[in-house]
Amino acid sequence: MIEVFNAVLLGPMLNILMVFAKFMAGNFGLAIIAVTILVRILILPLSLKQLRATKAMQQMQPKLKELQKKYSKDRQRFAQEQMKLYKEHGVSPLGCTLPMIIQFPIWIALYQTIIQALAVTPEGLVGLSQQLYSWSAVQGVVPLNSGFLWFDLAKPDIPMAILVAASMWALQKMSTMPAMDPKQESMNRLMTLMMPLMFGYFALSFPSGLSLYWVLFNLLSIGMQYKVTGWGSLSMPFKRTQPSPATGKGEPVIPAEEEESQPAPGGSEAEKRVKRRLITDQAGTRDGKHRSKRKDRGRGRSNRPR
């Protein structure tokens, strides 16, 4: 298994990185950036498919809401209809997890490459000797210079760890679907918080060359996500959201008591609710069934029950 991994992934990645570094004046940081872009291009078809699925999910939200109302008392039927709807629109429930799973061997290979190519430990350097091809371009490059910008690619770096967490949080925010209900919203918030924190913590343990890859990969993903679906929930980073009945995109959740005192938002349902209340109030005033809440100054009357 290890031999297969070395032959298929580690060896090629390591040698490609060494070649890039050689042609970039020995700058390993630039070589990592080049490989990150290359990896992004290679998994582009998968990423585009995932982004289109995300957009389709957004557009499906109003229909999902209808189904939820229709089958509110029949969960099983709702689940069946929901799956049917997903299939019709070609949406996978795994969402963005597949590209991440596919990247995992790449992270391992990149980590091993950094440890070996930068001569972090003698064991790593000996391992390198068995992975390098006989190309003249890679011989003589060892060991590579580990300095890049303000940090050492072989050592963890706190600012880079923060960038990893921040970029991952932003990407999660943009790509997470608005929740159908408060429970799902809580789960979404948990995931949106946990993954970036976890990766940020890992980044404090691993060489910052790996963090450089993660940050750049996230930034490229953010760019792609914006192109297809816009800022998503990132435009309201700290508000709870729900899918808009009209567009399916996230809109802030406004508590009922606030809704009455605010001008009606753009959504048509909220406007109708406000209009209904106004009509009801006006009707009550005309036929005398409802009392106004204005104070009656002279008479000392109140609305308290007698």
Partner 1 sequence: MRKRIFNARFALLAIVLLGSVALVACTGSRGWPSPTISDDTLYVGSTTGNLLAIDTANRNVVLWTWSPKSKQSGGGFFSCASGGALTAGNVYGAPTVHNGLIYVGAFDGNVYAIEPTSDNRDAVTAWKYKAGSQIVGGVAVSDDGTIFAGTSDGTLVALDANANGLEKWKFPREGAIGKIWTTPTVVDGVVYFGSLDHNLYALDAVTGDLKWSKPFETGGAIVAQPLVVEGVVYFGSFDSKFYAVDAATGDQKWVFDKATNWYWAKAFYEDGYVYAGSLDKNVYAMNAADGTQRWAVPVGTGGPVRSSPVVAGGILVVASEDARVYFRNAADGSQRWAPIELDAKPLSDLAISGSLVYLTTEDNSVHIFDAEIGRPFSQPISLGE
Candidates 42-50, 109-117, 216-224, 267-275: pick the segment binding partner 1 (CB under 8 A).
Answer: 109-117
| Residue 41 in tokens | 């291009």
Instruction: In angstroms, give the least distance from the CB of 159 to partner 1.
Output: 14
Q: Using the rule CB under 8 A, which residue among 107, 236, 245, 267 binds partner 1?
A: 107
Decide: 12 and 20 in contact? Cβ < 8 Å. Answer: no
Contact flag: residue 206 with partner 1 (CB under 8 A): yes
**Distance of alpha carbon 258 from alpha carbon 262, whole angstroms:** 6
Instruction: In angstroms, give the least distance from the CB of 14 to partner 1.
Output: 14
| Residue 79 in tokens | 């689940």
| Residue 37 or 198 with smaller CB distance to partner 1 | 198
Q: Using the rule CB under 8 A, which residue among 24, 108, 219, 228 binds partner 1?
A: 108
Q: Using the rule CB under 8 A, which residue among 154, 212, 224, 234 binds partner 1?
A: 154
Contact flag: residue 139 with partner 1 (CB under 8 A): yes
Q: Using the rule CB under 8 A, which residue among 70, 84, 87, 155 binds partner 1?
A: 155
Which residue shows structure tokens 């760890």? Answer: 161
Q: How many residues bind partner 1 (CB under 8 A)?
A: 50
Contact flag: residue 134 with partner 1 (CB under 8 A): yes
Q: Using the rule CB under 8 A, which residue among 195, 236, 253, 254 binds partner 1?
A: 195
Q: Which has the closest alpha carbon to 5: 106, 130, 90? A: 106
**Distance of alpha carbon 91 from alpha carbon 4, whole angstroms:** 33
Return the residues of window 110-129 that contact partner 1 according to CB under 8 A.
111-112, 115, 118-126, 129
Decide: 115 and 1 in contact? Cβ < 8 Å. Answer: no
Instruction: In angstroms, give the least distance from the CB of 142 to partner 1.
Output: 6
| Residue 216 in tokens | 């750049």
Instruction: In angstroms, give the least distance from the CB of 227 to partner 1.
Output: 24
The residue count for the chain: 306
Distances in Å between the Cα of 277 and the Cα atoms of 7, 256, 258, 283 are 70, 12, 14, 10
Contact flag: residue 191 with partner 1 (CB under 8 A): yes
Q: Using the rule CB under 8 A, which residue among 42, 100, 149, 193 binds partner 1?
A: 100
The set of long-range contacts for 101-106, using a CB threshold of 8 Å and a minimum separation of 24, is: 102/43, 102/46, 103/39, 103/43, 103/217, 105/5, 105/9, 106/9, 106/13, 106/39
| Residue 107 or 265 with smaller CB distance to partner 1 | 107
Candidates 31-39, 43-51, 200-208, 224-232: pick the segment binding partner 1 (CB under 8 A).
Answer: 200-208
Q: Which has the closest alpha carbon to 46: 10, 95, 13, 87? A: 95
Contact flag: residue 148 with partner 1 (CB under 8 A): no
Q: Which has the closest alpha carbon to 211: 170, 171, 154, 172? A: 154
Contact flag: residue 283 with partner 1 (CB under 8 A): no
| Residue 7 or 194 with smaller CB distance to partner 1 | 194
Q: Which has the closest alpha carbon to 153: 57, 297, 21, 9? A: 21
What does the binding site for partner 1 look like in residue numbers (CB under 8 A)? 79, 82-83, 93-95, 97, 100-101, 104, 107-108, 111-112, 115, 118-126, 129-130, 134, 139-140, 142-143, 146, 152, 154-156, 180, 183-184, 187, 191, 194-195, 198, 201-202, 204-207
